[in-house]
Structure 1
Amino acid sequence: MVRRSVFTAAAVLTVGFAAQPALAADGAQLFNMQCKMCHGGSVMGPALTGAAGGKIAARADFAYSPALKAKGGTWTDASLDAYLKAPAAFAPGTKMFMAVPSEENRAALITHLKTLK
């Protein structure tokens, strides 16, 4: 029984680690379809390179809304998830109007954002 539990735990961990690259690839695809128009060299939104783990509203080359500037803090998984889920609820008055209602899609996008260094 103990041996089976150890094997099961190891299998779950292995699947979890193996899923990260796939999740990032899914996130990259979603990013290219839904986000890149504004966050891929447009004046509509800032580039997101280094955003995950970085300070909120910190890029000098983008004019953030006062609402997002006032948030302060760091883009953690939780703050990115909250922002993507409901930008206006996270920072009322933010310029971002697109939400990502799907929890699965938000997780994939956040995993992808972590690869943008």
Structure 2
Amino acid sequence: MTRLFAALAALALLPAAAQAADGGRVFQLQCRTCHGAASTAMGPALDGVAGAKIAARADFAYSKALKAKEGTWTDAALDAYLAAPLKFAPGGRMTTAVANPADRAAVIDYLKALK
């Protein structure tokens, strides 16, 4: 009976684990409040962000901290930013981090699919 309970418990956890790695779902839960289809005062739209120059959208007023960053939004730069936004760009305005590395990787894959 104990083995059956353990097996059922493990099966019940599988959907939650699969959902945690779903970038679209993580984006909806953690990012969508500020980042929509169009840029707003809360945050820029993120279509085309992967591979783009950092803080380059003309339709958003980026913080001085983020505008001072050079380079492009590579996977590594996106990962560092999502892991610790204020460490990546001290003085920036984004405070929400994606703590789980698997969730960050999934969000980055999701962002790369946004055109």
Query: TM-score, normalising length from structure 2?
Result: 0.78
Q: Which of 1 and 2 has higher RCO (CA within 8 Å, sep 6+)?
A: 1
- Runs of 4+ deviating beyond 6 Å: none
| Pick aligned residue for 2:41 from 30, 40, 43 | 43
Alignment correspondent of 2:68: 70
Identity rate of aligned residues, in percent? 65
Indicate whether 1:95 and 2:100 are aligned: no
- How many residues are paired up? 95
Distance 1:37 1:92 in 2: 22
Query: TM-score, normalising length from structure 1?
Result: 0.77
Farther-moved stretch of structure 1 (68-77 vs 32-41):
32-41
Gapped runs of 5+ residues in structure 2? 1-17
| Pick aligned residue for 1:31 from 17, 20, 27 | 27
Distance 2:75 2:30 in 1: 19
Alignment correspondent of 2:105: 107
- Which string of whole-angstrom CA distances, capped at 9 and with x for unpartnered residues, describes residues 34-63 of structure 1? 111100144200000000010100000000
Distance 1:33 1:88 in 2: 20
Q: Compare the two structures and name the one with the higher helix fraction.
A: 1
Gapped runs of 5+ residues in structure 1? 1-21
